[in-house]
A and B are shown apart, each in its own frame.
Chain A
């Protein structure tokens, strides 16, 4: 089918706007047409070589076909499609990069939400545990008080401890590193958060306050931007030496 190849090449010469894929598709379609026509002529008793030549002649001018077809190919849509594809790929790559970067935040955040106690805190000698779960809004983050109790320090002095974790409402965002508007106070002692154990996703902090033996309760005041949340925590000394 050398006649077909020359004719098809001649058509493709007039398709400057076409992509390789489009050129190949048109070649195939025209080639199928030529094959069908040549086959019909052969069935009518025309010799194969003459059938091929007549099929090509019936197609008309390769230049006219090429130019007319080329005119239907819009460069605008091709450009728009290519730009959108390139930008989409870039955005996806950037997203993957950022996800890898924020993956650590997500892990810490989820731990703070679902199992804060699994973070190992040093409690000194823990004598009692008091169940607690309070959440206080701190800007766009949450300060969660998830545990408390009575302990004994190295100087054999009793202390009250409050376990907290700070994490962002958005699981992909880091926890605050500094909380100038947050104060935690108990027993006349005022303290600030200022970081803690953990990673960017969540920061754990234990607050310790001196305690007198037998005190029935302790009041912890958590102040954020003037809003005070008071936690009145009853203390059970049963079994504490």
Chain B
């Protein structure tokens, strides 16, 4: 009976083939998030979106949870997505959470806001696409639950704050935080202006917010 004997080289080549096969199965089975794109895939899947194109990765280490994470803004024909992806040694990159703003056909602005908090604090970002507007004003309304007092903090976005991508202007900006840590944010209101300073879209206060943090808005023309 013959028993074949292996050289180092042959054994190493066999192990290389085995490694390549295992790596291919591992990759095809999507067992490990090798890059932040896999985390974005996670988020697309969670929110039932078709494949999106990444506009930008951002890093904001403002809270403990975000220190080893990436914020991502991405888009497709149907919606904008803004969320967070994080790396874990055992599972690689995965999606933490996101906000989705559905696109309306011919809308000058598509916008939303994303919140992320942990014991160390919170992050809030306004995001969107403002190709059809000259200026977007975001108003954060904070209220004291007990006394009913409120304050309004403003963040204005201009094309200078935007990232140009695919012929469109996208923004992702931190929203102002209230100095009162125990006040809650009652609302985020959006108003977009054209070059002449006329309001072209503004938030419908009754329709704003919701699970996806898309800023629903109405339009009207001034006569």
List the A side residues contacting B102 at CB < 8 Å. 180-181, 225
Would you give the shortest CB distance from A201 to chain B, in whole angstroms?
12
Given known A84-B15, A95-B29, contact A176–B78 (CB-CB < 8 A): no
List the A side residues contacting B32 at CB < 8 Å. 94, 98
The B-contacting residues of A in range 130-187, CB under 8 angstroms, are 138-141, 166, 168, 170, 172-174, 176-182
- A80:B16 contact, CB within 8 angstroms: yes
- A225:B46 contact, CB within 8 angstroms: no
- B9:A77 contact, CB within 8 angstroms: yes
Residue on B with the closest CB to A85? B15
- B8:A180 contact, CB within 8 angstroms: no
- B8:A88 contact, CB within 8 angstroms: no
- B16:A140 contact, CB within 8 angstroms: no
Question: Does any Cβ of A come within 8 Å of B31's Cβ?
Answer: yes
Question: Does any Cβ of B come within 8 Å of A91's Cβ?
Answer: yes
Would you give the shortest CB distance from A78 to chain B, in whole angstroms?
6
List the B side residues contacting A218 at CB < 8 Å. none
- A181:B49 contact, CB within 8 angstroms: yes
Would you give the shortest CB distance from B39 to chain A, in whole angstroms?
14
Question: Does any Cβ of B come within 8 Å of A81's Cβ?
Answer: yes
Question: Does any Cβ of A come within 8 Å of B107's Cβ?
Answer: no
- A225:B79 contact, CB within 8 angstroms: yes
* Complex Cα spacing A67 to B25, Å: 42
- A88:B211 contact, CB within 8 angstroms: no
Given known A98-B91, A181-B79, contact A88–B19 (CB-CB < 8 A): yes
Question: Does any Cβ of A come within 8 Å of B23's Cβ?
Answer: yes
- A176:B12 contact, CB within 8 angstroms: no
- B47:A178 contact, CB within 8 angstroms: yes
* Complex Cα spacing A53 to B205, Å: 103
Would you give the shortest CB distance from A75 to chain B, in whole angstroms?
9
User: Which of B5, B31, B214 is the one whose CB lies under 8 Å from A180?
Assistant: B214
Q: Chain B contact residues (Cβ within 8 angstroms of A): what range?
A: 35 or more
List the A side residues contacting B16 at CB < 8 Å. 80-81, 84
User: Which of A22, A92, A140, A226 is the one whose CB lies under 8 Å from B44?
Assistant: A140
The A-contacting residues of B in range 1-36, CB under 8 angstroms, are 5, 8-9, 11-12, 15-16, 18-19, 22-23, 25-26, 29-32
- B29:A172 contact, CB within 8 angstroms: yes
- A78:B12 contact, CB within 8 angstroms: yes
- A180:B212 contact, CB within 8 angstroms: yes
- A94:B31 contact, CB within 8 angstroms: yes
List the A side residues contacting B26 at CB < 8 Å. 91, 94-95
- B22:A226 contact, CB within 8 angstroms: no
List the B side residues contacting A65 at CB < 8 Å. none
Given known A91-B22, A176-B45, contact A194–B211 (CB-CB < 8 A): yes
Which of A80, A99, A224 has the largest count of B CB atoms less than 10 A from its CB? A80
List the B side residues contacting A140 at CB < 8 Å. 44-45, 48-51
User: Which of B5, B12, B48, B90 is the one whose CB lies under 8 Å from A141?
Assistant: B48
List the B side residues contacting A180 at CB < 8 Å. 47-48, 79, 100, 102, 211-212, 214
Question: Does any Cβ of B come within 8 Å of A97's Cβ?
Answer: yes
Would you give the shortest CB distance from A91 to chain B, in whole angstroms?
5
List the B side residues contacting A88 at CB < 8 Å. 15, 18-19, 22-23
Residue on B with the closest CB to A194? B211
- B46:A73 contact, CB within 8 angstroms: no
Task: Give 30 A-B contacts (CB < 8 Å), ordered by A residue.
Answer: A77-B8, A77-B9, A77-B11, A78-B8, A78-B12, A80-B16, A81-B8, A81-B11, A81-B12, A84-B12, A85-B18, A88-B22, A94-B31, A95-B25, A139-B44, A139-B47, A139-B50, A140-B45, A140-B51, A170-B30, A174-B45, A174-B46, A176-B45, A176-B48, A177-B47, A178-B47, A178-B211, A179-B48, A180-B214, A226-B78
Sample of 20 further A-B pairs with CB below 8 A, known A139-B49, A181-B48: A80-B12, A80-B15, A80-B16, A81-B12, A84-B15, A84-B16, A91-B23, A94-B32, A95-B26, A139-B47, A140-B45, A141-B45, A166-B48, A172-B30, A178-B46, A178-B211, A180-B48, A225-B77, A225-B102, A226-B78
Which A residues contact B (CB, under 8 angstroms)? 22, 25, 73-74, 77-78, 80-81, 84-85, 87-88, 91-92, 94-95, 97-99, 138-141, 166, 168, 170, 172-174, 176-182, 193-194, 224-226
